[in-house]
Amino acid sequence: MPWSKDLAEAGRELENDLAKIDPLTFGLALLAELTESHAQFLSGLEAYRAHPYRRTLIPPPPLWEMDGIELLDYGASAQAPPPQRPVLVVPSLVNRSYIMDLMENGSFLRFLASRGLRPLLIDWGDTGADRSERTLDWYIAEILSKALGEATDVNNGNPVPVIGYCMGGTLAAALTVLHPEQISSLVLLATPWDFHCDHNGPHPGIAAARPGLEAMISSFGLLPVDALQSMFFSLDPLLGWRKFRAFSRLKPDSAKARAFVALEDWLNDGTPLTAAVARGCLFGWYLDNEPARGVWTVAGSEIDASAIRCPVLAAIPGKDRIVSPASARALIETIPDGEWISPDAGHIGMMVGGSAKKKLWEPVCEWLKTV
């Protein structure tokens, strides 16, 4: 069989080894291994479905609300004494915002609040069904602009820091270009910008699937959750196989087991995208690369990242398989006063993993104190 250049030598060695083995013996051994692994996978899957853990964290009260979107005030329940410095936090539209408040001892937002900050989180609510009129422009120029105004009002009219995670960072960058006078600093967490850097052109999978995606979006009036989940699945088709096998070996009452269930529940609690947002992201970003090319416009204004003049910190996880490090670096390298850190973690592990506090939460908190 043909091998890629990087695997050619190891592949030839494997072929030589296999040539010395009886095919029937090898086939039976392989079947036994696959049967055992499959049993572990099913055991882990059933253990997850039967696990008693349920997320019980109560969200803080909203400071502001518009069309089902809330600005949750994580400073309202903080133990830290006032005054607290408001920080506007912008999550992705693709997944639920509570990834930043996943568990009692695994909450980025509650950690920031305990350190004297007042996180104001945008909770997008239901982003798909019956929201067909919503566009990227609407989310940025209307919702985020008004939420930013609420945050600056809390800060006595002074500019505030903004934190954006994943796609939320892309939206936050645009917001900073539109309202530079209201934003004192910007934190970009695993934020995509150059959507062609990994393929030297448009994403081949999305390009090939465009007719089918367009038909689906037109038919449903949105991009369904299952379609989004399939895209994430395609990034690592064996991830589920590996993680549920590993989960089958955990003690159900262990902290690791509860953390696994909490994260898996969040992953399966997706939300669809409106037709306009899906087209803007998949076709405008991934295929046309509008942000990196400097042709992305919001409410008629060109989003030029080089125009961002406030201090900017980017966290670019080295093991990110959802947003490639090269895509994220393209943004921070465009910003004049930008610096970046590279946590040794993945896209989600950076936010909620066992070392998230040390590798991300604390560095972000310390940086915000300096700007």
Reduce the secondary structure of 212-276 to three states and give it as a string: HHHHHHHHHCEECHHHHHHHHHHHCCCHHHHHHHHHCCCCCCCHHHHHHHHHHHHHCCCCCEEHH
The contacts of residue 191 (CB under 8 Å, 6+ apart) are 164, 165, 166, 167, 168, 169, 170, 172, 173, 314, 323, 328, 331
Overall CATH class of domain 62-199+299-370: alpha beta
Alpha-carbon distances, residue 233 vs 16, 93, 168, 237, 240 (angstroms): 34, 18, 21, 5, 8
**pLDDT tens profile 302-316:** 999 999 999 999 999
Higher-confidence residue of 128 and 332: namely 332
Q: Give the mean pLDDT of 53-57.
A: 95
Q: Which residue type does 191 have?
A: T
Q: What is the average pLDDT across 2-9?
A: 88
Instruction: Taking residues 66-81, report their average pLDDT.
Output: 83
Give dist(CA 109, CA 63) in Å, integer: 15
Residue 345, helix vs strand vs coil: coil
Look at residue 305 in the predicted model and tell me its pLDDT. Answer: 97
Please tell me the predicted confidence (pLDDT) of residue 185: 98
Query: Does 4 score more than 90 pLDDT?
Result: no
* Averaged pLDDT score across all residues of the chain: 94
Please, what is the end-to-end C-alpha distance for the chain in angstroms? 56
Give the integer Cα–Cα distance in Å for 227 and 273. Answer: 10
Q: What is this structure's pTM?
A: 0.92
283 secondary structure, DSSP code: I
Give 262-316 pLDDT, tens digit per residue.
999 999 998 999 999 999 999 999 999 999 999 999 999 999 999 999 999 999 9
The pLDDT value given to residue 130: 63
Is 162 a residue whose pLDDT tops 90? yes
For a pLDDT cut of 70, what percent of the chain falls above it? 97
Say if residues 274 and 124 touch (Cβ distance below 8 Å): no
- Cβ contacts of residue 306 below 8 Å, gap of 6+? 334, 335, 336
Give me 246's structure tokens.
């590993």
User: 26: part of which helix (H) or strand (E)?
Assistant: helix 23-50
Q: Decide if pLDDT at 176 tops 60.
A: yes
pLDDT number for residue 129: 57
pLDDT tens digits, 110-157: 999 999 999 999 999 976 556 678 999 999 999 999 999 999 999 999
Phi first, then psi: give them for residue 183, nearest 5 degrees.
Answer: -120, 120
Instruction: State the CB neighbour count (10 A cutoff) for residue 43.
Output: 15
Which of 217, 218, 206, 157 is closest to 184 using CA atoms? 157
Q: What is the pLDDT of residues 202-225, one digit of tens each?
A: 999 999 999 999 999 999 999 999
Q: What is the largest CA-CA distance in the chain?
A: 78
